[in-house]
Amino acid sequence: MHIGNLLKIAFKALGNNKLRAFLTMLGIIIGVASVITMLAIGQGSKRSIQAEISEMGSNMIMVHPGGDMRGGVRLEADDMESLTLADLEAIRTETRYVSYVSPSVNSAGQAVYGARNTPTTVYGVSADYLDIRRYRVADGDFFTEQDIRAAAKVCVVGRTVVDELFPDGGSPVGRIVRFGTIPLRIVGVLESKGYNSMGMDQDDLILAPYTTVQKRVLAITHLQEITCSALSEGYTDRAIGEITALLRRNHKLREGQDDDFTIHSQQELSNMLTSTSDMMSVLLAAVAGISLLVGGIGIMNIMYVSVTERTREIGLRMSIGARGRDILAQFLIESVLISVAGGLLGVLAGVGASLAVRALASYPIYIQPWSVLLSFAVCTFTGVFFGWYPAQKAARLDPIEAIRYE
Amino acid sequence: MDEVIRLEHIRRDFVVGEETVHALRGVSFAIRRGEFVTVMGTSGSGKSTLLNILGCLDTPTAGEYWLDGVAVRTMGKDARATLRNRKIGFVFQNYNLLPKTTAIENVELPLMYNPSCGVAERRERAVAALRAVGLGDRLLHKSNQMSGGQMQRVAIARALVNNPAVILADEATGNLDTRTSFEVLDLFQRLHAGGRTIIFVTHNPEIAQYSSRNITLRDGRVIADTSNPAPLDAAATLAQIPSASPEDAPPT
Ligand SMILES: Nc1ncnc2c1ncn2[C@@H]1O[C@H](COP(=O)(O)OP(=O)(O)O)[C@@H](O)[C@H]1O
Ligand SMILES: [Mg+2]
């Protein structure tokens, strides 16, 4: 039979039972809508995490002294002092995939201004640190190369420190804070970055020349960390490879000997966080998928009812020349029509619900085009799959018995 | 030979559990184009089984059946469906119209399963068939808005629309009151006069008087096959029935 005629028959059959058709559709509508909404919420939170991480510098690479401590035994003092300025220089000059590199030494302590004080951390770094961590100076300037060479007692402070020490709101540039016993003149204030996705206040810090922190605060000559950035996030692995090779050569490590340093990257963290949110997405989608399954079972159920109710009609159609496949197609198209119509309404409801979540709960949502396509495809498949058995049952009826069915 | 139907030693056995029911025990006859045959017999004599085989809904256990020159026994399911669509028109006791569907759509139905018949031709032939049964002015009436007599006329129009080699009627007047029965019988007689081949199964001996030939079954065998040179005229009988009930009275 012609597809146009089949569609006409299906529309008519559904039209004869509008409420029932709608209630059957409702299962699919809810299923599709919830798949789309759940994926939109999952993807939205994943994207906002990714955006925050790239704010922190998604291409950041951190080199620490000391090997991977999984063995738990090698914690000699030597080991923890393995990173030197020579390593830093080598990384700066001999790598291709590293764009910025800064030493990092830090010390936690109290920052004091007049009668006020606040616990914070001072980081000894170089100018590259701003580019690596994506900080900007909002007020004043960053300290200079000259300041680094001279181990000058200068610093740049984060917003939180400013707010704690200078609650009156005036510019702190030019004032002198004490960190422990060391007086540091403020030359600049960092633009606020707020909290990161792990809840850390990124504005609670003081930046000072690394030489100053090494000599005047910690009295050390080694580095606690070398912070670098790869050319871009995609080059992270290659940059790590380069740095590893370089440091092993500089540290004269023989083949088979363990690294005396450890490299972490922001990418690892990013992967960890997004894989958590991916798992959330999968779980949410699975729950939503189950409701789609339930919707499909609803279709199957109602199609069985429909086949039984219309046994006489099936018998008649067969006796006037319908073949098994004509009957199969008729009922299959009916169930696909239910699921596709339900799918369309479900897409509308899902997109609507997602937008409502964004508007009302100001939750980050992102509707992925593929999730719409996928759920639509799945529900068409649902229609075929769950419509198949009832349609098959109809097609296999014996016309003689069917036409006498009461 | 202008044979539409030829049966040779048709047997039909049904296996029910351990037992075998012999519904037809070797039925042979031929029907020529333009005959109006009534098939008679008591309940259980095998009339419906015979009609199902004639209608290609069922296949015989043994024996040969030619419909319009085509051997049916060896045909597959789909081929028999197509054969029914092109060569056979069924009229049932309980009309079997599609519910909530107009007369014209009901009549168009067989042509829907014939891909060589276009939309315009389908409509045209359905209208012609409905005119032929006297329902030219009821094309858009729905099946549930019609009386029993009208429904049976729609069913007859549906059986005519594919221009079949034979019309098979199973107790086609069984659900109708006397007057309406004769109206329908009159319609069959006029179709017969127009050259149609009709096989009419009934257990009512009165109806047999209006056909041109009568085959009687008993226990799955033909026990009588007589031609009727002077059939009664249903229109004349109808004129004698007082029209106490309105013309379109529902079935009693
Ligand atoms: N599908 C079937 N299965 C088993 N027995 C059947 C079946 N159809 C008919 N019969 C038997 O075959 C015989 C003839 O039945 P049928 O052709 O219906 O008679 P009629 O229509 O003349 O009343 C009966 O004994 C009936 O019980
Ligand atoms: Mg019977």
SS3 for A252?
coil
State residue A291's pLDDT score.
Answer: 82
Q: Cα distance from A339 to chain B (closest Cα, Å)?
A: 24
pLDDT above 70: residue A197: no
Give domain B34-48+77-248's CATH superfamily: P-loop containing nucleotide triphosphate hydrolases (3.40.50.300)
pLDDT level of residue A382 (50, 70, 90 thresholds):
confident
User: Does the CB atom of residue B113 touch ligand 1 within 6 A?
Assistant: no
pLDDT above 80: residue A70: no
CA atoms lying within 13 Å on the CB side of residue A187: 13
Q: What is the pLDDT of residues B144-189, one digit of tens each?
A: 899 999 999 999 999 999 999 999 999 999 889 999 999 999 999 9
What is the Cα–Cα distance from B45 to A170, expressed in whole angstroms? 113
A320 to B99: CB separation less than 8 angstroms, yes or no: no
Q: Cα distance from A6 to chain B (closest Cα, Å)?
A: 9
pLDDT above 60: residue A92: yes
Query: Ligand 1 centre from B213 Cα, in Å?
Result: 24
pLDDT level of residue A77 (50, 70, 90 thresholds):
low
Pocket test for ligand 1, best of B12, B15, B18, B21 (most atoms within 8 A of CB): B21
Q: Which atom of ligand 1 is nearest to the CA of B12?
A: 12
A1, A5, A313: residue with CB nearest B98 = A313
B57, B82, B100: residue with CB nearest A399 = B57
Distances from the Cα of A305 to the Cα of A292, A339, B26, B158, angstroms? 20, 16, 41, 27
Each domain of chain A, given as residue ranges in start order, spans 3-52+272-404, 81-259
Distances from the Cα of A41 to the Cα of A268, A274, A356, B22, angstroms? 23, 13, 11, 70
**Comparison of pLDDT for A81 and A67, the residue scoring more:** A81
B158 to A320: CB separation less than 8 angstroms, yes or no: yes
Q: Mutation test of the interface with chain B: which of A319, A325, A398, A403, choosing the one with the most B Cβ atoms within 10 A? A: A319
Name the token pair of A284.
């949410």
Integer distance in angstroms from the first to the last C-alpha of chain A?
27
User: Does the CB atom of residue B49 touch ligand 1 within 6 A?
Assistant: yes
pLDDT above 60: residue B250: no
pLDDT above 60: residue B247: no
A400 to B58: CB separation less than 8 angstroms, yes or no: yes
SS3 for B138?
coil
Please write down the long-range contacts of B245-251, taking CB distance under 8 Å and 24 or more positions apart.
B245/B177, B245/B179, B247/B149, B247/B179, B248/B147, B248/B149, B248/B150, B249/B147, B249/B149, B249/B177, B249/B179, B249/B180, B250/B147, B250/B148, B251/B147, B251/B148, B251/B175, B251/B176, B251/B177, B251/B180
What is the Cα–Cα distance from B189 to B210, expressed in whole angstroms? 8
Q: Cα distance from B237 to chain A (closest Cα, Å)?
A: 32
pLDDT above 60: residue A74: no
SS3 for A6?
helix
Q: What is the pLDDT of residues A279-331, one digit of tens each?
A: 877 887 788 778 888 888 989 999 999 999 999 999 999 999 999 999 999 99
What is the Cα–Cα distance from A236 to A59, expressed in whole angstroms? 6
**CB contacts, 8 Å: A395 with chain B:** none
What is the residue with the minimal CA distance to atom 20 of ligand 1? B44
**Percentage of residues of chain B with pLDDT beyond 90:** 84
pLDDT above 60: residue B251: no
State residue A180's pLDDT score.
Answer: 86
Query: Ligand 2 centre from A226 Cα, in Å?
Result: 97
Instruction: State which residue of chain B sits closest to A401, comparing Cα positions.
Output: B57
SS3 for B160?
helix
Q: Mutation test of the interface with chain A: which of B93, B109, B167, choosing the one with the most A Cβ atoms within 10 A? A: B109
**For residues B99-125, average pLDDT:** 93
B86 to A320: CB separation less than 8 angstroms, yes or no: no
What is the Cα–Cα distance from B6 to B53, expressed in whole angstroms? 12
**What residues pair up with B22 in beta bridges, in sequence order?**
B13
User: Does the CB atom of residue B23 touch ligand 1 within 6 A?
Assistant: yes
**Mean pLDDT across chain A, nearest whole number?**
87
**Comparison of pLDDT for A285 and B4, the residue scoring more:** B4
State residue A279's pLDDT score.
Answer: 83
Instruction: For the beta carbon of residue B241, count every other beta carbon within 10 angstroms.
Output: 14
DSSP type of residue A50: H
This model of the complex carries an ipTM of 0.92
**CB contacts, 8 Å: A10 with chain B:** none
User: Does the CB atom of residue B47 touch ligand 1 within 6 A?
Assistant: yes
**CB contacts, 8 Å: B162 with chain A:** 321
A326 touches chain B (CB under 8 A): yes
Q: Which residues of chain B are at the A interface, by a Cβ-Cβ cutoff of 8 Å?
A: 52, 55, 57-58, 77-78, 81-82, 84-86, 90, 92, 96, 98-101, 109-110, 112-115, 158, 162
